[in-house]
Amino acid sequence: MEEAEADARRDLASHGHRLTHRSEPYYRRDLALVHDRGYGFHADACAPGILDLLAPLRARDGLVLQFGCGSGLLTEHLLRAGHRVVATDASPAMLAIAGERLRGRAVELRRLTLPEDPLPSADAVVYFTSNALAKF
């Protein structure tokens, strides 16, 4: 595998590209911005259903743990609805955009990389992605 990865790096480099090392965040600033600007409609479309599911939690002031908050598009909906939120992502670039978007709001943003990092305590977990359908 290491030899194949080295070959891929050399091939990409010969064309002016580079293969991102596994330890680097998946979304760097440029891709994070593309994602933020290109997928807002998805968060807007899904938010009403997610908020309906979380309504009982909001009524008892429960804490929502959001995995993969990205640039904070859904997080913004959660906060507007009155939820307490710990929003997490593995990408520092995505968290930076979320921090800009949510500046001044009562939200805790954390870098969280699974399975290495411990999970914060919460009353509900939200995992929302525009890239795939996840079923737990």
The DSSP secondary structure of the chain, one letter per residue, reads -HHHHHHHHHHHHHTT--PPPTTS-SS-HHHHHHHHHHSHHHHHHHHHHHHHHHHHHHHTTPEEEEE--TTSHHHHHHHHTT-EEEEEES-HHHHHHHHHHTTTSSEEEEE--TTTSPPPP-SEEEE--SS-----
Q: Quote the pTM value.
A: 0.76
Least trusted range by pLDDT, from 16-25, 40-49, 87-96:
16-25
CATH 3.40.50.150 fits 26-127, yes or no: yes
pLDDT in tens, 45-103: 999 999 999 999 999 999 999 999 999 999 999 999 999 999 999 999 999 999 999 99
